[in-house]
Amino acid sequence: MKLENGKVLSNQLAMALNANLTKDDKIKIAEASGLSLNMVQSLLSRARSITINNKPLVIELLRVAIENANTYRESLMSYDYDYHF
């Protein structure tokens, strides 16, 4: 998985993140990063691209989502999705 500046999250990654992050997770991560919850939602809905400024936010979203998935003994990428943004 590569997080490229100027690109949106892949459809599969965005869905996996959404499935493994609670609203409280998203709020806490946004506050800790100094960016808005709207930025988090825009990245996860693929409306905004990854930038040098929001990349640390995306990395933290990934870290928390993986931690949450591991709690349920799942892989972040083990989800089978039919939904497309």
Q: What was the pLDDT predicted at 83?
A: 43
Q: What was the pLDDT predicted at 84?
A: 42
* Residue range 2-17: mean pLDDT, rounded: 93
Are the CB atoms for 81 and 42 separated by under 8 Å?
A: no
Query: Has residue 24 been placed in a domain?
Result: yes
Query: Has residue 85 been placed in a domain?
Result: no
Count how many domains the chain has: 1
DSSP per position, the chain: ----TT-PPPHHHHHHHHHH--HHHHHHHHHHHT--HHHHHHHHTTSS---TTTHHHHHHHHHHHHHHHHHTT--TT--------
Q: What was the pLDDT predicted at 45?
A: 97
- The 10s digit of each residue's pLDDT in 38-84 is 999 999 999 999 999 999 999 999 999 999 988 877 666 665 554 44
What is the residue range of 16's domain? 11-71
